Chains A and B, each alone.
Chain A
Amino acid sequence: MSSANGVCRTLLGAAVWLAGAVALAAGPAPPAELHVVDHPNDAGTALDLRWQLSPDDQPDVTPRKVLRYDILRQAAAPGAPVPANGPAFQVIGEATYGAAKFTDPNCVRGTAYWYQVVAVAPGGGRSLAAASTAPAVPVMQLFDATRLWFGLLLGVVCLLILACIARARSGRPMHMRRIAGLEAVDEAVGRATEMGRTCLFVPGVQDINDMMTVAGLTVLARVAQTAAEYDSRVEVPTSRSLVMTAARETMQAAYAAAGRPEAYREDSVYYLTDEQFGYAAGVTGQMVRERPAACFYFGAFYAESLYLAETGNLIGAIQIAGTAESSQLPFFVAACDYTLIGEEFFAASAYLSGEPQQLGTLLGQDLGKLLGAALIVAGSVLATLGQLGPDGGSAAAGLRYLMNSILGSG
């Protein structure tokens, strides 16, 4: 097999060589001064080629004398002399007319390569090859300098987070914006207690693999703990069996944390149906019959959001909702007493636990977002200034730098 392969290669090389020799007379003038250098900021897998265009490759001459440039390559054995034109050079790519550079992305790190560039005329006539004078070896760079800014920004955000965590751990009081919706949990459960009714908790229609469902269960822990303290009942209808199991675990832990494990009833968390509207119908039906005094909607919601929230409003319950599903937010905001919007919902777990690590992370991330916002503002200002001036001037240069160097490759 290997010998057959070798024969094939030799034959092919000979054919190319022959073709070159045939076209010699009719070929365009050759390109010159081929330089091959390592491609910067990579893992040593590419080389950059530059050459001077063939003198026949003129943009204003028609018909064109040069159609393209063929790039030929040969891997060199270490210490081998400069190879002559021969079948060992293979075409690995081509550049169009007018192009004087090429990047060969398919190199193996540490291997030396020889290159040749041949101008090809429309009729197929080939010029003499411009050859590299020394073998080029692709080298791996440890750092990708184009990502320097990105690395820097990332580092800053990480440091901020670490600093914030350290700050939180040091016991210094951290201000966290009050999330009215979570503060109101006590009020809602209290209302249910005073009125002798139940609390209803709806964890959404998605399965446990959805981030929103997980965040919703964090809130459930809080609701259940409050309910346990107030000795009020929480009902949790679920639309996925796994969510039911997770919710049961959460509730049990919450009742234990409140010091009333005996008050926990497993059957207050139950499964209705996987069917989206079957579930919505089941829950709303129950709302109308039992008239809970507090309804909580935390998780992923779709079209059923308005059915639930509107029914809850109708029965006079205090309603608190939280979802990151932006299309459903307006419905919740309008129909519920309190709504946790997007990020707030995810921040809830940090807010509820009050753990320094979570609080610090939250603060650090917020500072990172602030940084991002600052870059956007700076970009907008530069772009505006660039449009105002005749040629943009330094503002345009600044914008370019911002876009290409700071953000572009990030």
Chain B
Amino acid sequence: MTSLTPAQIRVIVATDCGSTTTKAILIQYLDGQYRQTHRGEAPTTVEEPVADVTVGVVNALTELGELAGRRLIDDAGQIIRPATADAGCDIYISTSSAGGGLQMMVCGVVREMTGASAKRAALGAGAIVMEVLAANDRRRPHEQIQRIRELRPDMILISGGTDGGNLNQVVQIAELVAPAKPQPRFGGGYKMPVIFAGNRDAAPLVQQVFDDSVDLAIVDNLRPVLERENLGPARDKIHDLFLDHVMAHAPGYDKLIAWTDAPIMPTPGAVGNILETIARRQKINVVGVDIGGATTDAFSVFDGKFNRTVSANLGMSYSISNVCAEATLPSILRWVHFDMNERALRNRVKNKMVRPTTIPQTEEALVFEQAVAREALRLAYVQHREFATALKGVQQQRSVGDAFRQTAGGQCLIDNMRLDLLVASGGVLSHAPRMQQTAAMLIDAFEPEGVTTLAKDSIFMMPHLGVLAEVHPQAALEVFEKDCLVYLGTCIAAKGRGKPGRECFQYAVHTETGTITGAISCGEMRVVPLLPDARARLDLHPARGFDLGAGPGKPLECEVRGGTVGLIFDGRGRPLELPADHAACQALTSRWVAALDLYGGRATAAPAAS
């Protein structure tokens, strides 16, 4: 661990050990600010024949050093520290998702209460939750035991009961877990880590239930009273155990742990960390998404409340067939502006599933893949919204005036109208050939309302910055703002519905160079270019029944930032609905494709078969 104060840190090296590649970035203090200057990567070396993660790290750092003209690794294969004028670094940090990341099983008494809190704690720590076991999940106890035996989680989190509350059922859950003798995923090399974060009165009893075949850790109740969550202790313990048990048993990680100046974090945990930091510092509401081959992670920070979900079977390669099965092909094809042969498509989807590494070669294939991405993102966001709710089981305060609008407890925290920043990351979004395509996918899938800034993670740097935020928040924020995010622009979308052709809203864009005014009709999309570093003042006048953030029909004035795409005015209305009729839908999507110039000159013409 370094003894430097934050002010003395001038050169930072960070790696993210993914399941296929290890990505390294170099951050330097130049001209009074922190900037990300270089990046390098190498294949991850967790599996045979190398089976030592540090080999991949050294390879990535060597490449990074060559590119930066700065020697980072000494002859003994160690990282040079601290930094000199032309060699070494001040701190080295890392994240890891190699080997499928951290897989957990969580238990609670009531699925929607302590079960949900436990899931939130595990997800927030960057884990994939394989199963939530609860007293009310409608499974008979022997079915639950069977399920525990089938799963091979890395770790188990048990919660349940408020402090001084339920005792019986908490112990009952422990009694289900104990005889099932769950086996850790990485074989018999270590004891299964079990964290108990439930009713503190139950802790001694739970301790009696487990013998020493598991490694039981007891932390503060994550739901001491129903009105409040206390996820911190459980989350920290998960991180500790992740390092002590799971990581320590993965090949080469013992060495890597010794190298780093801050604890290694699971990659998604780090991404959540940086988004949470940004939202807190800038006092904005943020939604982030990372769409991968097998899973899609969604993050949100609304009013300071952080939530993360993993949609385990929504992804663009391994899980593409599942996206098609869940969303159905007609739903996907509504985003495609030309005819496609369904049977051929189904076979193609399956071929992509069995050969997940291929990339679309033709425009037709790209359009289809992006249509699938829209549906995958949409479904992931639906799942996220279902999970990101206020706490359930809390007493409501009412007055007589509430007689006719009794809102239920556990309302969704996500409000697209109040969303300020939408961040995209993951292959299909960040490697789309045109920025417009990324923006269009985000808008179609997330349906932002009002005024929302769109951005993408340039080179998947968020994990690195997430760990850095723990050590040096200022550096993390500066790099995040300047180098990590590529601003696509701002989406201005009206909430409400109207007949196509009717006026939706009027706008006036005031920039340093002049003013542009115009009107958007219902069903129309329009792009007004505004450069990435430019800012503009907007005067918006929604038509009656449409809301841009100030209330239905109320004018709004705001400042927005430009981007590689610019300002995107969306008059399609919210919730976004496409015509059920196939031909009408195609005509409409063709217009949008043309308006956003999504696919170059051949936008509306059906591409050739090849």
Residue of B nearest to A330 (CB): B400
A193 within 8 A of B: yes
A190 adjacent to B393 (CB under 8 Å): yes
- Residue of B136, B140, B406 near A180 (CB, 8 A) is B406
> A172-190: contact bitstring with B at CB < 8 Å (1 yes, 0 no)?
0000001011011011101
Bound CA span A188–B166, Å: 15
A333 within 8 A of B: yes
Bound CA span A317–B136, Å: 21
Give the chain A neighbours of B114 by CB distance below 8 A: 194
B166 adjacent to A190 (CB under 8 Å): no
The minimal Cβ–Cβ distance linking B18 to chain A, given in whole angstroms, is 39
Give the chain B neighbours of A339 by CB distance below 8 A: 403, 406
Chain B CB within 10 Å, residue with most, of A193, A230, A317: A193
B395 adjacent to A316 (CB under 8 Å): yes
Give the chain A neighbours of B166 by CB distance below 8 A: 193-196
Give the chain A neighbours of B160 by CB distance below 8 A: 194
B399 within 8 A of A: yes
B329 within 8 A of A: no
B113 within 8 A of A: yes
A235 within 8 A of B: no
Give the chain B neighbours of A190 by CB distance below 8 A: 110, 112-113, 136, 392-393
B529 within 8 A of A: no
B161 adjacent to A194 (CB under 8 Å): yes
B138 within 8 A of A: yes
> A195-206: contact bitstring with B at CB < 8 Å (1 yes, 0 no)?
111000000000
B325 within 8 A of A: no
Total number of B residues with any Cβ neighbor in A under 8 Å: 37
B551 within 8 A of A: no
Q: When A and B form their complex, what is the total count of cross-chain residue pairs whose Cβ atoms lie within 8 Å?
A: 98
A363 within 8 A of B: no
Give the chain A neighbours of B394 by CB distance below 8 A: 191, 318
Give the chain A neighbours of B110 by CB distance below 8 A: 190, 193-194, 230
The minimal Cβ–Cβ distance linking B169 to chain A, given in whole angstroms, is 6
The minimal Cβ–Cβ distance linking A30 to chain B, given in whole angstroms, is 69
* B101-117 CB contacts (< 8 Å) to partner A: 109-110, 112-114
B169 adjacent to A193 (CB under 8 Å): yes
B396 adjacent to A337 (CB under 8 Å): yes
Give the chain A neighbours of B407 by CB distance below 8 A: 180
A194 adjacent to B403 (CB under 8 Å): no
A191 adjacent to B113 (CB under 8 Å): yes
Residue of B nearest to A319 (CB): B395
> B122-139: contact bitstring with A at CB < 8 Å (1 yes, 0 no)?
000000000000011010
A231 within 8 A of B: yes
B169 adjacent to A195 (CB under 8 Å): no
* A183-242 CB contacts (< 8 Å) to partner B: 183-184, 186-188, 190-191, 193-197, 229-231
Give the chain B neighbours of A316 by CB distance below 8 A: 395
- Residue of B169, B403, B408 near A178 (CB, 8 A) is B408
Bound CA span A216–B135, Å: 27
Residue of B nearest to A258 (CB): B138
Bound CA span A194–B138, Å: 17
Give the chain B neighbours of A181 by CB distance below 8 A: 406
A336 within 8 A of B: yes
Residue of A nearest to B172 (CB): A231
Residue of A nearest to B402 (CB): A333
* B203-261 CB contacts (< 8 Å) to partner A: 223, 226
- Residue of A178, A187, A334, A341 near B398 (CB, 8 A) is A334
Give the chain A neighbours of B293 by CB distance below 8 A: none
Residue of A nearest to B409 (CB): A187
B162 within 8 A of A: yes
> A136-177: contact bitstring with B at CB < 8 Å (1 yes, 0 no)?
000000000000000000000000000000000000000000
Chain A CB within 10 Å, residue with most, of B138, B161, B166: B166
Contacts A229-B136, A230-B135, A316-B395 given; does A183 touch B408 at CB 8 Å: yes
Residue of A nearest to B403 (CB): A333
Give the chain A neighbours of B140 by CB distance below 8 A: 259
Bound CA span A190–B409, Å: 12
Residue of B nearest to A334 (CB): B400
Residue of A nearest to B134 (CB): A230
Per DSSP, chain A at the interface is helix
B333 within 8 A of A: no
B168 within 8 A of A: yes
- Residue of B136, B164, B223, B406 near A338 (CB, 8 A) is B406
A231 adjacent to B395 (CB under 8 Å): no
> A330-347: contact bitstring with B at CB < 8 Å (1 yes, 0 no)?
100111111101000000
Give the chain B neighbours of A333 by CB distance below 8 A: 398, 400, 402-403
Bound CA span A329–B399, Å: 12
- Residue of B223, B400, B410 near A194 (CB, 8 A) is B223
The minimal Cβ–Cβ distance linking A14 to chain B, given in whole angstroms, is 76
Give the chain A neighbours of B392 by CB distance below 8 A: 187, 190
Bound CA span A186–B138, Å: 13
Residue of B nearest to A186 (CB): B112
The minimal Cβ–Cβ distance linking A371 to chain B, given in whole angstroms, is 22
Give the chain A neighbours of B396 by CB distance below 8 A: 318, 337-338
Give the chain A neighbours of B410 by CB distance below 8 A: 187
B167 within 8 A of A: yes
Give the chain B neighbours of A336 by CB distance below 8 A: 398
Give the chain B neighbours of A197 by CB distance below 8 A: 165
* A312-328 CB contacts (< 8 Å) to partner B: 316-318
Bound CA span A230–B396, Å: 22
Bound CA span A333–B403, Å: 6
A196 adjacent to B165 (CB under 8 Å): yes
Give the chain A neighbours of B199 by CB distance below 8 A: 196
Residue of A nearest to B405 (CB): A180
B399 adjacent to A334 (CB under 8 Å): yes
Chain A CB within 10 Å, residue with most, of B199, B396, B404: B396
Residue of A nearest to B404 (CB): A341
The minimal Cβ–Cβ distance linking A265 to chain B, given in whole angstroms, is 15
A196 adjacent to B393 (CB under 8 Å): no
Bound CA span A378–B171, Å: 65
B113 adjacent to A194 (CB under 8 Å): yes
A191 adjacent to B393 (CB under 8 Å): yes
Residue of A nearest to B223 (CB): A194
B398 adjacent to A196 (CB under 8 Å): no
Residue of A nearest to B168 (CB): A196
B408 adjacent to A180 (CB under 8 Å): yes
The minimal Cβ–Cβ distance linking B375 to chain A, given in whole angstroms, is 22
Bound CA span A193–B392, Å: 13
- Residue of B109, B164, B402 near A193 (CB, 8 A) is B109
The minimal Cβ–Cβ distance linking A314 to chain B, given in whole angstroms, is 11
Residue of A nearest to B138 (CB): A229
Bound CA span A196–B166, Å: 4
Give the chain B neighbours of A188 by CB distance below 8 A: 393
* B378-425 CB contacts (< 8 Å) to partner A: 392-396, 398-400, 402-404, 406-410
Bound CA span A58–B407, Å: 73
Chain A CB within 10 Å, residue with most, of B135, B162, B169, B393: B393
The minimal Cβ–Cβ distance linking B9 to chain A, given in whole angstroms, is 45
A194 adjacent to B395 (CB under 8 Å): no
Give the chain B neighbours of A318 by CB distance below 8 A: 393-396
Bound CA span A166–B412, Å: 35
B226 adjacent to A194 (CB under 8 Å): yes
Residues of B in contact with A (beta carbons under 8 Å apart): 109-110, 112-114, 135-136, 138, 140, 160-162, 164-169, 199, 223, 226, 392-396, 398-400, 402-404, 406-410
Pull 7 A–B residue pairs with CB atoms less than 8 Å apart, ordered by A. Answer: A188-B393, A190-B393, A191-B393, A193-B110, A194-B114, A195-B226, A230-B110
- Told that A183-B408, A194-B162, A338-B408 touch, could you supply 17 new A-B pairs with CB distance under 8 A? A184-B408, A187-B409, A190-B392, A193-B110, A193-B136, A194-B110, A194-B166, A196-B164, A196-B165, A196-B199, A197-B165, A231-B136, A231-B169, A316-B395, A329-B403, A330-B400, A330-B403
CB-CB nearest 7 A-B residue pairs = A196-B166, A190-B110, A191-B393, A195-B165, A337-B396, A196-B165, A180-B406
Residues of A in contact with B (beta carbons under 8 Å apart): 178, 180-181, 183-184, 186-188, 190-191, 193-197, 229-231, 259, 316-318, 329-330, 333-339, 341
